[in-house]
């Protein structure tokens, strides 16, 4: 948890089962604070290590390489590079949490890719846009040779962004940034948005039937981004972005889940991208009967394995 608590301290905000904010500014994370060390995974042989990207800010990442790449006696073709952004409402979880460590081990092994899982600074202590700026710094660090694993093993002409929930929002916004600013010495081939956290002022789809959820999400947006001027900001509502067609990749995969209350926002974005005149290829896939980020919590289920196989096909 973030720090010691005073038993007499008044709770100002409590969001779902994510965190509490106390009157004195103390933040208590209620979940997503567990961490595990990097490892050689006994099930997949995937090797991971942690790196500091910026000592000044504490920005860091966990890097992963698949088992075949760890054999120095073999010559290797360069592998696709995945830069992954974890979810958690910008405020919980990390690149070092067991949830993401285990999933990245499975994904890196199945897809035979190099992965950089970004440990951006989190809100509310570090409000938006800091998580976006950290993630962009991590992307540029990776593609300009920040680490020998990336230098030796990754094909910088096959870079992918992916993320779930809030991380899906980051993956989207950084894909847009590549389209507007470019990516020095590298090519962003594809972006995967897994049940991305988008929003907007106008209710769409099932949102009108779930006012408590909508109210909570709107409160959370304003906590993680106190200077927010409105929920139609293009960072939150990409369909309001006049530059939506400038997405900086060739391929986009949007993944939604049938029972996820963010489902309609993902579908809405997909339809807006298709109508925008963007030159790339977009696909949307729905996991029937599933809820938000089900693949992380039940990774051996049939639908989670199907999603994993879809990612593997997308990378390769």
Q: CA-to-CA distance for 33 and 41, rounded, in angstroms?
A: 21
Q: CA-to-CA distance for 262 and 242, rounded, in angstroms?
A: 22
Annotated catalytic residues are 165, 260, 292
User: What is the distance in angstroms between the CA of the first residue and the CA of the last residue of the chain?
Assistant: 39
Supply φ then ψ for residue 143, to 5 degrees.
Answer: -80, -10
The three-class DSSP label of residue 98 is helix
- Tell me how crowded residue 142 is: count the other CB atoms within 10 A of its CB: 26
Contacts of 60 by beta carbon, 8 Å cutoff, 6+ apart: 50, 51, 52, 53, 95, 119
Q: Is residue 304 within a helix (H) or strand (E), and if so which, with residue range?
A: helix 302-315
The three-class DSSP label of residue 174 is helix
The dihedral over CA atoms of 183, 185, 190, 192, expressed in degrees to the nearest 10, equals -60
Q: CA-to-CA distance for 101 and 99, rounded, in angstroms?
A: 6
Contacts of 56 by beta carbon, 8 Å cutoff, 6+ apart: none
> What residue spans of 165-301 are helical by DSSP H?
166-181, 211-224, 263-275, 294-297
């Amino acid at each position: 948890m973030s720090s010691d608590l005073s038993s007499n301290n008044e709770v100002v905000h409590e969001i779902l089962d994510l965190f509490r904010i106390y009157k004195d500014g103390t933040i208590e994370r209620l979940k997503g604070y567990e961490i595990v060390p990097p490892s050689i995974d006994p099930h997949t042989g995937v090797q991971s290590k942690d790196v500091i990207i910026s000592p000044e800010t504490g920005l860091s990442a966990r890097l992963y390489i698949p088992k075949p790449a760890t054999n120095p006696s073999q010559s290797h073709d360069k592998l696709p590079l995945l830069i992954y952004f974890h979810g958690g409402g910008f405020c919980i979880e990390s690149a070092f949490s067991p949830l993401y460590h285990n999933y990245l081990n499975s994904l890196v092994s199945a897809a035979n890719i190099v992965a950089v899982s970004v440990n951006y600074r989190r809100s509310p202590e570090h409000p938006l846009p800091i998580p976006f700026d950290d993630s962009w710094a991590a992307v540029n660090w990776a593609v300009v040779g920040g680490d020998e694993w990336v230098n030796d093993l990754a094909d910088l002409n096959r870079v992918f962004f992916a993320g779930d929930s809030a991380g899906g929002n980051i993956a989207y916004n950084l894909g847009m940034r590549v389209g507007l600013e470019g990516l020095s010495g590298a090519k962003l081939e594809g972006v995967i948005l897994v049940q991305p956290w988008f929003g907007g002022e106008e209710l769409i789809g099932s949102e009108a039937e779930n006012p408590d959820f909508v109210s909570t999400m709107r409160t959370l947006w304003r906590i993680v981004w106190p200077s927010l001027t409105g929920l139609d900001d293009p960072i939150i509502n990409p369909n309001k972005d006049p530059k939506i067609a400038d997405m900086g990749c060739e391929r986009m995969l949007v993944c939604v889940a049938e029972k996820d209350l963010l489902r309609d926002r993902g579908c809405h974005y997909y339809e807006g991208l298709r109508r925008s005149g963007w030159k790339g290829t977009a696909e949307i896939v729905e996991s029937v009967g599933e809820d938000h980020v089900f693949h992380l919590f039940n990774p051996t289920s049939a639908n989670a394995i199907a999603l994993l196989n879809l990612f593997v096909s997308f990378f390769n």
